[in-house]
Amino acid sequence: MKSKSPESEQYLSASNRITGSIVLVIGALGLLDVLLEWRTTTGLMVSAIIGMFMVLAYVGLIRPSVTLSPENVLLRNHLRDHRIPWSKVTGVDVTDILRVHVDGGRFRAPGVQLVMRDLRKQRVGSRKANAESSISKAEFVVNRIETHQEQYAATSGGEIENGWAVPELAIFGVLAVIAVVAAVVR
């Protein structure tokens, strides 16, 4: 759990963040290598492609999270953000990932997910999940969301807001254009 303020709680997949950070460091080392041995348009094309993979790693592994505040629950998915007021939340559960139910639908949140190893252990009836398993962590987040829903549903209002991950999409688009132009000029 990572807190932005005393009233805000953020939940995310630590293993995904670690893996994403490792990929970003490897990508940065690749960019450094290209920079040190500049190869004109070929170097520019390779740099843009490495940058695109770094954006994909960020979007796929680091960006997803669930943030609880007194006003709403913010689900940051790979390319979309969903800001749901507590008055609109009708339920929450976990299948393979967290699902927040609203009237007429549900939103999936890959920031909180179950690890297949923990699911297999649960299915074969091995011992109760320990406090470090993904099942226990997901159940904790479900309990926190239910608590927030009960506590803040009467005072929160508004509509569900959906938005795209504009900075990430823009950076990816610019890098894709640079890679194509560099490939054509080369």
Taking the whole predicted model, whether its pTM rises above 0.85 is answered as: no
**Tens digit of each residue's pLDDT (9 = 90 or more) over 95-134:** 888 999 999 899 999 988 877 666 566 566 655 555 566 6
The structure tokens 């969903």 sit at: 82
Structure tokens at 43: 């170097």
Strand ordering across the sheet containing 105-113: 89-94, 97-102, 105-113
**How does strand 105-113 pair with strand 161-164?**
unpaired
Cα angle vertex 23, ends 20, 27, to 5°? 135
**Tens digit of each residue's pLDDT (9 = 90 or more) over 18-30:** 999 999 999 999 9
Instruction: Tell me the average pLDDT across 171-175.
Output: 98
Domain boundaries, the chain: 1-63+166-186, 70-164
| CB 98 within 8 Å of CB 141 | yes
